[in-house]
Amino acid sequence: MNIHEYQAKEIFQKYNVPTPRGYVAHSVEEAVSNAEKLGGSIWVVKAQIHAGGRGLGGGVKLARSLEEVKTLSSEILGMTLVTHQTGPEGKLVQKIYIEEGVDIADELYLGVVLDRAQEMPVIMASLEGGMEIENVAHDSPEKIIKVAVDPSIGFQPFHGRALAFGLGLQKEEINNFIKFASALYTVYMENDVEMIEINPLVKTKSGNFVALDGKVGFDDNALYRHPEIEAMRDLSEENPAEREASNFGLSYVKLDGNVGCMVNGAGLAMGTMDTINYMGGFPANFLDVGGGANAQTVAKGFEIILRDPNVKSIFVNIFGGIVRCDRIANGILEATKLVDVHVPVIVRLDGTNAPEAAEILRNANIKNIITATDLGDGARKAVAAAKGELV
Ligand code: ADP
Ligand code: MG
């Protein structure tokens, strides 16, 4: 689960991670009164959407008077903000954050992510603040300093020094930085965070560090331990199809290809997507129907997959372990009565009662249901069908 910048900063403040002062606003009037409450003479009006790159897209603007706060707020609130992370359709701005302007001496980058290979959280820092860290990692990986923290010992001053020296910080800045990184690590660990990104981390003229931006993603499986974080969920920011799928116990993630996938088990789903790629195609989605697939879940799966206009074929790849293949085959036939499946469906069922399942599908004799003998055969047929070839 992701949250907005203003919510990330609320959490940071609780852990003494310094941020500029600011207040969220839902209307222009509220924005102006927030600016008055903050005082000072420079404010920043920031669109709150779950995507980065807002600055370049025109969603972060500096105001030098209350009048300007008013104008900028009315421009940004309600705009459809397009950034490289929103896709071309953009995102509607429903909230803005009014923040005090910060006197920036330097923009850095600081993040914490889980490194699955090392089985540890890794803190990443770079002097290339404000840039996409993925691009820095690609073009000049030596500019990113990484320190893995063994969770059993936790963050220690030496971790902080390794980062600070790597960044070439001045003597009087080092302690401030270590305190900052240590507090950020605590945010990461205590809230079951999957990734935190502060881009930019700002060094002020007085050598202090301030989180100017904040992006935090949480581990969904641990949310039950943090009701106060779950309460920060903004459903309007989430993909409606993914949300609906999760209500039916399906894990659906939309992708950009044209071969819809319906699979049971996350591992098999990944293998299916890889094989589609291997056969020269592109999956339109990840969909795990889970262990108890039946006619209703299969129908829901078809419905959600077909809502994506890019989908030109569907590959159903289900292993009958707990569920029997003959029941799935009947479920697929049932589902085609409930949902108008207008693209070719390639079905590969293996495991318990696979021969009976093949028999059921053959006897049903439905034109756009095509059976496959194995994963490779199914993926090949699904990719061909998506290209409009005869299979
Ligand atoms: P995004 O990453 O989505 O573009 P940021 O919060 O990083 O949004 O803001 C973009 C840029 O705007 C920052 O790199 C910084 O230069 C400037 N900025 C953001 N907040 C402030 C602030 N409070 N004071 C001064 N400049 C700011
Ligand atoms: Mg940023």
Residue 109 is a catalytic residue: yes
CB-ligand 1 contact for 197 (6 Å cutoff): no
**Tell me, what amino acid is at 384?**
A
pLDDT of residue 24: 98
Distance 213 CA to ligand 2 centre (A): 5
* Atom 7 in ligand 1: residue holding the nearest Cα: 213
pLDDT of residue 206: 86
**Tell me, what amino acid is at 98?**
I
What is d(CA 207, CA 227) in angstroms, rounded to the nearest whole number?
36
pLDDT of residue 313: 98
Residues with CB under 5 A from ligand 2 (ion): 199, 213
The C-alpha R_g of the chain, in whole angstroms, comes to 25
pLDDT of residue 242: 87
CB-ligand 1 contact for 58 (6 Å cutoff): no
pLDDT of residue 213: 97
pTM higher than 0.85: no
CB-ligand 1 contact for 102 (6 Å cutoff): yes
* Atom 5 in ligand 1: residue holding the nearest Cα: 213
CB-ligand 1 contact for 173 (6 Å cutoff): no
Cα dihedral 259, 368, 279, 255, rounded to 10, equals: 0
60, 62, 132, 199: which to mutate for ligand 1, most atoms within 8 A of CB? 60
Reference 333, options 372, 379, 302, 287; nearest CA is 302
What is d(CA 200, CA 197) in angstroms, rounded to the nearest whole number?
9
In angstroms, the Cα distances linking 216 to 131, 184, 355, 358, 372 are: 17, 11, 48, 47, 43
Cα 354 to chain centroid distance, Å, stands at 37
Distance 53 CA to ligand 1 centre (A): 9
* Atom 6 in ligand 1: residue holding the nearest Cα: 213
Q: Which domains are delineated in the chain?
A: 1-19+103-238 (3.30.470.20), 21-101 (3.30.1490.20), 240-386 (3.40.50.261)
Residue 89 is a catalytic residue: no
Of the candidates 97, 109, 185, 252, the residue annotated as catalytic is 109
Mean pLDDT by 10 residues, the chain (391 residues): 97 98 98 97 97 95 98 97 90 97 96 96 94 89 96 97 96 95 98 97 93 96 96 90 87 94 94 97 94 81 94 95 88 90 95 94 93 96 95 81
Distance 109 CA to ligand 2 centre (A): 9
Tokens read off for 255:
């992708």
6, 34, 44: which to mutate for ligand 1, most atoms within 8 A of CB? 44
pLDDT of residue 391: 81
Distance 201 CA to ligand 2 centre (A): 9
Q: Which atom of ligand 1 is nearest to the CA of 56?
A: 4
CB-ligand 1 contact for 99 (6 Å cutoff): yes
Neighbours of 118 (CB within 10 A): 12
